[in-house]
Chain A
Amino acid sequence: MFVEEADAKRLLAAGGIHTPVGTVAETVAEAVLASGGPVMVKAQVPAGKRGKAGGIVAADSAEEVEAAARRLLGSELGDHMVDRVLVEPRVEIAHELYVAVVVDATSAGPLLMVSAHGGVDIEDVHESSPESVAKMPIDISIGLTPSDAEGAVAILGNLLDGEQKRALVDVLLRLYERFRFLDAQLVEINPLAVTTDGSLVALDAKLIVDDNALLRQLDLPAQRAVGTALELEAAEQGFLFVELDGDVGVLANGAGLTMATMDAVTAHGGAPANFLEVGGMAYKRATPALALVLKNPKVKSLLVNLCGAYARTDVIAEGLIEGWKTLAPDLEVSFCIHGTGEERAQELVRTELGREPHESMDDAIREAIANAAKRVEATS
C-alpha cells in the first residue's frame, strides 16, 4: 500500500522525525485558509515523481495558493485524481540529503541508504555515482545500531558539522524504528533538508506498507481505490485481477501458470484480456471468477487453462460450469485441463458443456485466439 505524503509525514512525525507543520486541504477555500508566507502546495496522490508532473507548486501569497489549489484539486496526476493538497510552510534549505530504509531482496533483510544527493531521483544517483550512496544491510534480529548509523553517515564526509551528524544519526534510528513499526517495504525521506538554521526536516516522505501486513497495521489511512472499475470489483471479492487490452479472456490456476498462459497467448499472436488466477485458496471460487472475466466487454473468446497441483481441477470445473449455465454467455470457450482431478474435470466439461478439452495447451490457445478473431470479424 502506497501511503500518500501527508499521511506518511504524520506517521514519521509520530516517530519523532521533524516534518513541516502543514495542512491538508480538500477544497480551494481550505487551501487559502492555510496560506500565509511562502508555502508549497503539493498534490496528494499515491505515486512518485509528482514534481516532474507539475503536482508541486511554490506559492508566496493567498492568491497564488488559491490559483495552485484551483489548478491541482480535481485534476489528474498520472493515473490518479487529486482530491486533496498539502499546504506547507517553505523552509530555507542549505543541503538536501537522501535517507531510506528498504526491504532488500538481495540481502533478504533491511537496507539503510544515505546519500548527499537528495532532492533528485535516487535511481539517477545510483546510475551516475553509485559510490556516493551508502548502502548498509541491517541484521533484523539486532536492528540498526548507532554505530551502524554513524558508519552510513560517514559517506557525507564533511558536509555536516558534528552536531548535525549526531542529529542525522538520530533521524536514521527513528527512521528504522518507523520502518519496523509500520511493516514498511520502503520508507524514504527525499529530500531530508538541512535547513539554514542547521536543523533536519523531512520535506517529502514516501511510505510503502507491505500489503500482507495491513491486517495488523491499524493506524493507516483508508486505502485509496486504485484500478479499473472491474479491478476494484475483483479486489472487493478478494481476487487478484489485472485488466489488459486484449480480447482473449484467460482463466488459469496459480500465478505462475496464469502469467505463462498469458505469455503463450501473446506468443501465438493473440492478446490476453486479463490476469485472473483461481489457484491457491481461490480454486473453490471459480463461479464468481468466471463472472468477472465475462464482465469485461473486450472479451471475445475465453481460454481456460488448468494444471492442478494443490488446486483441484474438478472443483474448478464444477464452479465454471455452474457459472456458465447461469450466465449463458454467447461466447466460445476453449479448455486445456491437466493435473489433480483432471479425469473428472475433463468429463464434466464434455458432458455438461459439450466441449472437448484440448490435450495440448498450445492447441487450446490457438483455438481461443481464432475464435476471438472470428467474433471480431463477424461484428465489424
Chain B
Amino acid sequence: MTSVRELFGTAPRRVLVQGITGGEGSYWTEQMLAYGSQVVAGCTPGKAGQVVAGTPVYDTVSHAVADHDIDVSVVFVPARFAKGAAIEAIEAGVPNVIVLAEFVPVHDTMQIIAAARACGTRVIGPNCPGVVFPGRDFVGIMPGWSERLFSPGRIGVVSRSGSLGALINLHLVQAGFGQSAFLGLGGDPIVGTTFRDALEMFEADPTTDAVVLLGEVGGPMEEQAASYLESMHKPVVSFIAGKNAPEGKKMGHAGALVSGGKGTAASKMQALSAAGALVADVPTEIVSLLQGLDL
C-alpha cells in the first residue's frame, strides 16, 4: 500500500477538474489554485477552448490527458452525470478520481467501482468532501486554506462526513495538533476508498504518527477497518456518530442507516475498541485521547 503522502503520486500532483465551467467547479478551482493545488486542466463537454481561472478547458478527459499529465481528477458534475464523468476519467487512464456529488444512484457507484478495479484506478467518494494535505494542497470542497481547521502536522484524519471532519479538525488545531492529511471518504453506503484502505495508507506514511477515524452508523466499513487495525502499529482514536439513530431511518447520509439491528454505533465502537482503538464517547474527547498517547 502506498503512503498517504504519495496518494495521487509524489508532489506536485496535477489536478483535472471535471465540470470546471459550472458555478461550484469554477469557484473551487480558484480556491484550490490559490492554496497551491496544481489544477492544470478542466473539462466540460462543449466548452473546449474556454479558460477558467487561467486553466484551459477541454471537451473530454481524453483530450485533456493528451495535453497534460494528470494525477487526479475531481468530478464536480451533478449526480445524474457522475457515473459517465467518472468512468470517462477512469477509461482515459487518470489514476485517481474523486467523486463529490451526493445522491449518485448506488448502481452507478457499483459500475464506477467495477470500472476502477478493471483499470487499477483509485476512486474516492461519491458524496465526499475530498482530501486536504495541510500546507501543500487540497482537492475537493474542504476549505483547505482555513487555518482554524487545518495545520501541517502528524495526525492522519479520515472521516465519512465532511462536517464532522471539520469539527474534529478544528478541535485538533485548537489543541495544537496538525494533520498529515485529511481524507473525506463520503457518506454513501458504497464508496471507492474505505476506512481500511485509509488506515493502510496512514500506516505506510512516515509523516503520520496517529490516526483519527470518524465513522458513523450504517454499513460494514468500521468493522472491516477494525479487522485490519489489529495488525497496525500506529494508534487509532475513533468516534462513531449516530448513537441516537432510530432503526430504519436514514440520518442525512444515504449510508447512515441502521437496518435489521445491523450497523449500530454500539457494534462499531465495540469492534474498534476490541481491535485496540481508543473510542471517544463524545467528539470533544478525541483530543484528550490523543493527548494521552505517547506521541
Interface residues of A (CB under 8 A from B): 103, 105-106, 108-110, 123, 139-141, 180, 183, 185, 210-213, 215-216, 240, 242, 244, 252-260, 262-264, 266-268, 272, 275, 277, 279-281, 307-311, 338-340, 342, 360-362
Does B110 belong to the interface (CB within 8 Å)?
Answer: yes
The reply to whether B239 and A260 form a contact with Cβ atoms under 8 Å apart is yes
Name the residue on B nearest A271 (C-beta): B244
Bound form: Cα–Cα A341–B196 in Å: 33
Does B48 belong to the interface (CB within 8 Å)?
Answer: no
The reply to whether B159 and A256 form a contact with Cβ atoms under 8 Å apart is yes
Q: Of A183, A185, A255, A263, which one neighbours B244 at CB under 8 angstroms? A: A263
Main secondary structure of the interface of B (DSSP, over half): loop
User: Which chain A residues lie closer than 8 Å to B148 at the CB level?
Assistant: 338-339, 342
In B71-110, the 8 Å CB interface with A consists of: 79-80, 102-107, 109-110
Does B251 belong to the interface (CB within 8 Å)?
Answer: yes
Bound form: Cα–Cα A123–B106 in Å: 23
In B236-262, the 8 Å CB interface with A consists of: 239, 241-246, 249-254, 256, 260
Interface residues of B (CB under 8 A from A): 79-80, 102-107, 109-111, 113-115, 118, 129, 141-143, 146, 148-149, 159-167, 170, 187, 189-190, 192, 214, 216-217, 219-221, 224, 239, 241-246, 249-254, 256, 260, 265, 281-284
The reply to whether A141 and B115 form a contact with Cβ atoms under 8 Å apart is yes
- Shortest beta-carbon distance from A181 to chain B in Å: 10
Given contacts A310-B142, A339-B166, A340-B143, contact A105 B220 (CB under 8 A): yes
The reply to whether A256 and B163 form a contact with Cβ atoms under 8 Å apart is yes
- Shortest beta-carbon distance from B33 to chain A in Å: 18
The reply to whether B260 and A263 form a contact with Cβ atoms under 8 Å apart is no
Name the residue on A nearest B254 (C-beta): A212
Bound form: Cα–Cα A281–B78 in Å: 12
Bound form: Cα–Cα A11–B250 in Å: 25
The reply to whether A256 and B115 form a contact with Cβ atoms under 8 Å apart is no
Q: Of B103, B143, B260, which one neighbours A309 at CB under 8 angstroms? A: B143
A275-B245, A338-B170 provided; 14 other pairs, C-beta below 8 A?
A109-B113, A140-B107, A141-B115, A211-B254, A242-B246, A242-B251, A255-B253, A256-B159, A256-B214, A259-B252, A263-B283, A309-B141, A339-B143, A339-B166
